């Protein structure tokens, strides 16, 4: 059996970045996607016309803010949102919507070296960030930390 289909995605994306003060920066973004199956048949009589396309979240967004405490120290935090996504063509199985909260602390050692510690998924929530063919879901990492060094020369 062969499957044939067409998907149409309509949507928009907006973002903004700016400084509320000299020390305080905010970045935010939002995406809306209306992803619909226009024509799709699988098997003899199974049609999915008009269903939401699998794996595509209709709504997603993020907000991130940083604040320079001094010339050397900076703190930041933010949130990411991903809406419910269907994981099969029938739209009967889905991955739940989720919020993820992150934080960071940065230190400028000197003009050539910056260090930054990121802590991801602060609340250590279990959520699924992907699925494969609606058969299984991939669990996103729990609370984790990353230390990065930025070297300029």
Round to whole Å and give the CA distance between 40 and 53.
10
Handedness of CA 127, 129, 131, 136 (dihedral sign): negative
pTM of the model: 0.85
Q: pLDDT in tens for each of the 153 residues of the chain?
A: 345 558 899 999 999 999 999 999 999 999 999 999 988 777 667 788 889 998 999 999 999 999 999 999 999 999 999 999 998 888 998 999 999 999 999 999 999 999 999 999 999 999 988 877 666 788 888 999 999 999 999
What DSSP string runs through 90-152? TS--EEPPEEEEEEEEEEEEETTEEEEEEEE-TT----EEEEETTTEEEEPP-SEEEEEEEE-
pLDDT at site 5: 59
* Residue linked to tokens 């300029």: 152
């Amino acid at each position: 059996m062969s499957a044939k289909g067409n998907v149409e995605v309509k949507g928009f994306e907006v973002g903004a970045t700016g400084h509320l003060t000299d020390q305080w920066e905010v970045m935010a973004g939002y995406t809306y996607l209306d992803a619909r199956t226009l024509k799709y048949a699988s098997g003899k009589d199974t049609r999915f016309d008009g269903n939401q396309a699998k794996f595509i979240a209709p709504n997603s967004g993020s907000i991130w803010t940083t604040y320079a405490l001094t010339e050397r120290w900076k703190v930041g935090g933010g949130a990411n949102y991903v809406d419910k996504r269907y994981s099969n063509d029938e739209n009967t199985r889905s991955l739940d919507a989720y919020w993820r909260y992150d934080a960071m602390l940065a230190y400028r050692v000197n003009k050539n070296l910056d260090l930054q510690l990121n802590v991801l998924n602060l609340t250590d929530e279990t959520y699924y960030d992907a699925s494969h063919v609606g058969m299984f879901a991939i669990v996103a990492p729990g609370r984790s930390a990353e230390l990065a060094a930025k070297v300029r020369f």
